Amino acid sequence: MSVTVIELLECSEIAYDKKEILRYMGCSKSTQEIDELIEDCLAECEGAFRYKTVFCPICASVDGGAVVLGDKRIESRDLARALSDCDRAVIFGATVGIEIDRLVLKYGRISPSRAVVFQAIGAERVEALCDALCKRLREIYGKTCPRFSPGYGDLSLGLQEHIFSLLECHKHIGLTLNDTNLMSPTKSVTAIVGIKRQGQ
């Protein structure tokens, strides 16, 4: 099964969504002090992100409360509902790189408030990357369903091992998985995107 690797350079041109950064910071509203802190952190992490993705299309079918992706049967009623109008899916991995993790670690020791902002910026950037990739997938494959990741609903986080094996994430985009199925770099996502049947 062939995989496609794309470095989505256009993500660097997507403006930061300040409202999303605030949301990830846990702030319901901003202040001048918070705005200045965010701007300062954005300036410091300029050029830190590497927007990389890897994906492959795969046959998909729903069998009761389970989904069959290729030759893999996955017990998940939530995923089955998400793919109910699909006969194919795309499995993908995406990461914005390790530099934001290093900034979070650095400031976690010397300035926790800056560490919180960098965490939020990283979260906003990886979501922007996933949105850009899903837009590209629609251009390639047509109508798609919202992405669905391991750990959502009743979909086991253990599916990460299969996704990493299938996509060879370490080889293609430098994304690794530890013994508890957590990813490094941390600002990374794996997901399944259903491709709707024609006419749906």
Q: What is the CATH number of the domain that holds 55?
A: 3.40.109.40
Total number of domains constituting the chain: 1
Q: In the prediction, which pLDDT does 27 show?
A: 94
List the domain range (segments joined by +) for residue 107: 4-196
Which residues, in sequence order, are CB contacts of 155 under 8 Å at separation 6+?
A: 74, 76, 78, 79, 148, 149
Give residue 1's pLDDT band: very low, low, confident or very high (50, 70, 90): low
CB atoms within 10 A of CB 196: 17
Is residue 174 pLDDT above 80, yes or no?
Answer: yes
Does the pLDDT at position 113 exceed 80?
Answer: yes
Name the least confident of 2-6, 32-36, 48-52: 2-6
